[in-house]
A and B are shown apart, each in its own frame.
Chain A
Amino acid sequence: NAGVTQTPKFRILKIGQSMTLQCTQDMNHNYMYWYRQDPGMGLKLIYYSVGAGITDKGEVPNGYNVSRSTTEDFPLRLELAAPSQTSVYFCASSLMTGNSPLHFGNGTRLTVT
């Protein structure tokens, strides 16, 4: 299994541009998550999904949108990029059972200038 795969690894955006961060997992996990990590800080939850067609906001959802049309994919959309969205973005997945651990991808490093 490849696990959780994120693309691209790096991206530079200009203010106001839009982009989609891709995330796919091949473990048949029901739950998927998007986190952001600012320099020297912990991770903050942006959005999560408990299954195809179901998404919900996390701690810091403003400026982002998500969709979950399949079990495997959970893309994160930035519509109008702002410098405050410069961060490293991590996607994760887990089984639906109570204590299953999160499996993380290796992140997308985004810079907005």
Chain B
Amino acid sequence: DAKTTQPPSMDCAEGRAANLPCNHSTISGNEYVYWYRQIHSQGPQYIIHGLKNNETNEMASLIITEDRKSSTLILPHATLRDTAVYYCIVRVEYNNNDMRFGAGTRLTVKP
């Protein structure tokens, strides 16, 4: 699977949009981009995934560049409860055993 690069930490003001970047410059054509988050010491929680089109759900939006070498997770109105470690993962469809979690980005939402 392609490796991903994320900043180790970011801050965001409460109520503002949080934009979390992820670089995956060696991504293959059949690899999807996934985002999970881990709040405090809980188990990771799925947020969103996409292949090449932008995706939106009730939690977040995922913007993937046209060349697919990077993506951005957007939390439109961050709250204190969004403080967590966010993981960007790429993997081939059907390969759940290759879901590799790196160190992620620690997002701190400040009042």
Binding site for B on A (CB under 8 A): 4, 31, 33, 35, 40-45, 48, 56, 58-59, 88, 90, 92, 94, 98-107, 109
- A104 to B43 Cα, complex, angstroms: 5
Interface majority SS on B: helix, strand, loop or mixed? loop
A-B contact count (CB 8 A): 58
- A109 to B46 Cα, complex, angstroms: 21
Task: Evaluate contact between A105 and B97: CB separation under 8 angstroms.
Answer: no
Task: Evaluate contact between B97 and A48: CB separation under 8 angstroms.
Answer: yes
Task: Evaluate contact between A88 and B41: CB separation under 8 angstroms.
Answer: yes
Give the top 3 A-B pairs by smallest Cβ distance, nearest first.
Answer: A104-B43, A101-B46, A42-B101
Kindly report which residue of chain B lies nearest to residue A103, judged by CB atoms: B46
Over the window 39-62 of chain B, the binary record of Cβ atoms lying under 8 Å from chain A Cβ atoms (1 yes, 0 no) is 001111110010000000000000
Interface residues on B, range: 20 to 34
Task: Evaluate contact between B32 and A102: CB separation under 8 angstroms.
Answer: no
- A106 to B44 Cα, complex, angstroms: 8
B13 within 8 A of A: no
Q: Shortest CB–CB separation between residue B42 and chain A, in angstroms?
A: 5
Provide 28 A-B residue pairs closer than 8 Å at the C-beta atoms, listed in order of the A residue: A33-B97, A35-B101, A40-B103, A41-B103, A42-B100, A42-B101, A42-B102, A43-B101, A45-B97, A48-B96, A58-B97, A88-B41, A92-B44, A94-B96, A98-B94, A99-B32, A101-B34, A101-B36, A102-B36, A102-B44, A102-B46, A104-B42, A104-B45, A105-B43, A106-B42, A106-B43, A107-B41, A107-B43
